[in-house]
């Protein structure tokens, strides 16, 4: 592997002179083209979201899943991936008979589906409000 520090052995005391900045020019300012590209992209957000929503009903399952994932990620945020926490409630749940676990999970899914249905029903109203 090449030594990129030109003889400097990587010690922090040798990196910069005392009292001087390692980045004297500061952060690079965005170019006009970059600002314009971002403005243009943001001005087409509603159009892009409408297209994604339309693609949810695509006949190709890959397209439909990709569109659904994009809409959910942008509206609700990406799902968290955390390690399961084996607290007292989780231990108590796991100790229940399988039939009881399934019944409780089914009840939770029905409640979640009702919340999701209410959110989906509110979606067109929200889009209409944004357009007005």
Per-residue pLDDT of the chain (132 residues; tens, 9 = 90+): 454 555 545 555 566 677 777 777 777 777 888 888 989 988 998 898 899 999 999 999 899 989 888 888 888 888 776 655 556 666 677 778 888 888 887 777 776 677 777 766 766 665 565 555
Q: Give pairs for 99-106: CB < 8 Å, separation 24+.
A: none
What is the reported pLDDT for 107?
78
95 and 70 both lie in a single domain: no
39 and 62 both lie in a single domain: yes
* 39 within domain boundaries: yes
77 and 109 both lie in a single domain: no
106 and 117 both lie in a single domain: yes
What is the reported pLDDT for 10?
54
Q: Tell me the residue range of the domain where 122 lies.
A: 82-132
* 121 within domain boundaries: yes
Helix crossing, 45-55 with 32-43: angle to 10°? 50
How far, in Å, CA of 129 to CA of 52, rounded? 18
106 and 63 both lie in a single domain: no
Backbone angles phi, psi at 24, to 5 degrees: -65, -30
Structure tokens at 50: 């409408």
The b/e string for 43-75 (b: 16+ C-beta within 10 A; e otherwise) is eeeeeebeebbebbeeeeeeeeeebbebbeeee
Domain count, the chain: 2
What is the reported pLDDT for 1?
46
* 4 within domain boundaries: no
* 108 within domain boundaries: yes
Choose one of 60, 81, 102: the last residue of a domain: 81
* 65 within domain boundaries: yes
68 and 98 both lie in a single domain: no
* 104 within domain boundaries: yes
87 and 130 both lie in a single domain: yes
Choose one of 81, 102, 118: the last residue of a domain: 81
The pTM (predicted TM-score) of the whole model is 0.40
């Amino acid at each position: 592997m090449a030594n990129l520090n030109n003889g400097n052995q990587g010690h922090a005391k040798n990196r910069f002179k005392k009292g001087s900045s390692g980045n004297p020019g500061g952060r690079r300012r965005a170019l006009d083209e970059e600002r314009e590209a971002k403005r243009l992209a943001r001005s087409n957000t509603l159009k892009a979201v409408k297209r994604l929503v339309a693609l949810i009903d695509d006949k190709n399952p890959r397209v439909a899943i990709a569109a659904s994932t994009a809409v959910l990620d942008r509206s609700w945020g990406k799902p968290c991936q955390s390690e399961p926490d084996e607290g007292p409630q989780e231990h108590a749940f796991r100790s229940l008979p399988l039939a009881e676990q399934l019944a409780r999970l089914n009840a939770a899914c029905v409640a979640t589906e009702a919340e999701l249905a209410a959110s989906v029903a509110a979606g067109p109203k929200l889009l209409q409000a944004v357009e007005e």
